Structure 1
């Protein structure tokens, strides 16, 4: 029970990786605060977390792209739960389409959720952590923030932004005892692709690379009491990302060929 008594705040917690992170944190005794837009699913997550942790869990309906709602939820958490020890910025979505035909309203929405919403919540909670001289921030980015492939121009741009933001923030907050970890998942067995690729072509193409959200959630929760700089999953895509950086021409060839399954 290494997280016993620690308040763990997770966005995008109603399904997929976010839900699994909540469960793994609860197993280690954390006081889980689950947030997402779907309150009906959140209530189920809250109940399961309470059963796993043997203590109270909390849930709040939250659209991270709405600053007013973020302020209201954070105020409620402050009054009803207490200071946040661990922030997990998991909320986000993607759409895989050719950029020249991309609806720019979707571009705006994706940046508001994946980047601006993440940054706004982080600023509010990081200020509290700096004052307390402790805390952990975990930002869920993507391997797409390291390897850009066709039809991910907008999504990759948001995740490149999360990576750059996290890397700078890590250096800023280190002197105050606050850690920042970036998580870069490849394709996972979640409902992410219901929105990203309704045709199912991408999922079918990357089945050999699909990873388990349960396995990644366990790795993420371990960093809550033993911080590390990055988590990359699966290993083969992490190796590809390194090769992409070292050999950009080869990287472009792979990204437009072998790694392009959309």
Structure 2
């Protein structure tokens, strides 16, 4: 990966920083897409491989000209890692209309819009990495809109893989890991406490994703035991929902 150049969205989150670190160790450069300029500066002071910053809030309307102008300042890119994400652990009725729109805009609609701007700037066989979630593969009460947006992202990514054989398309479906995402999704900290013992190591996850790019994998599901459980779930989902109802309600706060 020496000398390659990747775009990372959601770069100021824990996984975003882990990806910057891992790519730096492989000799790759990054352009980060962030909404907080102050946090971007802190990252730039910490990692020498950050060569540009695109200030963009994926909850808001995308300024196409600004993004294209920033991308055109560089030679072609070797990939984009779509890591920005948003969700709330609430019942459907507890979500405000604004929250629902923000979730789908950040996790799906604006992600695709940004990707379509970036695609002409990618090298042939460049990597498109979409960070979905294991939640997108299972019934997720009290997190329905987050899970639905990730399920749609998984479906979109699989379709894109067949449409664009000239690109490497990789889907990442992680379980819970320590992140500021949980602070916003569940300000009470309940979900964080409930999942603390099974949370993924975010640095290990970042390294796995970078290795997945190098090896041209098409899907990474972590943790393995959770992915295996989901395979059984898909055989008889309603029966398993009844048998393990308490586990399905882990986001009920």
Could you say which TM-score interval applies, normalised by the shorter chain? over 0.9
RMSD of equivalent CA atoms = 1.7
Number of residue pairs aligned between Structure 1 and Structure 2: 251
After superposition, the C-alpha distances for 1:160-197 in whole angstroms (9 at most, x for unaligned) are 110010000011111x2x01100011110111111111
Structure 1 residues 64 and 99: CA distance shift in structure 2, 3 A: same
Structure 1, 244-253 or 201-210: larger mean CA deviation:
244-253
**Residue pair 2:133, 2:174 contacting (<8 A) in 1 also:** yes
- Give the corresponding residue for 1:98: 91
After superposition, the C-alpha distances for 1:38-71 in whole angstroms (9 at most, x for unaligned) are 1111112223221xx5xx6222221124444354
- Give the corresponding residue for 1:86: 79
Structure 1, 120-129 or 142-151: larger mean CA deviation:
120-129
Aligned partners of 1:57, 1:109: CA distance in 2, in Å?
29
After superposition, the C-alpha distances for 1:99-127 in whole angstroms (9 at most, x for unaligned) are 12221110011111110111112222223
- Give the corresponding residue for 2:225: 236
Runs (4 or more) in structure 1 with deviation over 4 Å come to none
**Residue pair 1:49, 1:57 contacting (<8 A) in 2 also:** no
- Give the corresponding residue for 1:216: 205
- Give the corresponding residue for 2:12: 14
Match of residue 58, structure 2, among 58, 61, 64: 64
Match of residue 186, structure 1, among 142, 153, 175: 175
Structure 1, 22-31 or 238-247: larger mean CA deviation:
238-247
**Residue pair 1:149, 1:255 contacting (<8 A) in 2 also:** no
Structure 1: which 5+ runs fail to align? none
Match of residue 148, structure 2, among 157, 181, 195: 157
- Give the corresponding residue for 1:126: 119
1:57 counterpart SS class: strand
- Give the corresponding residue for 1:144: 135
Structure 2: which 5+ runs fail to align? none
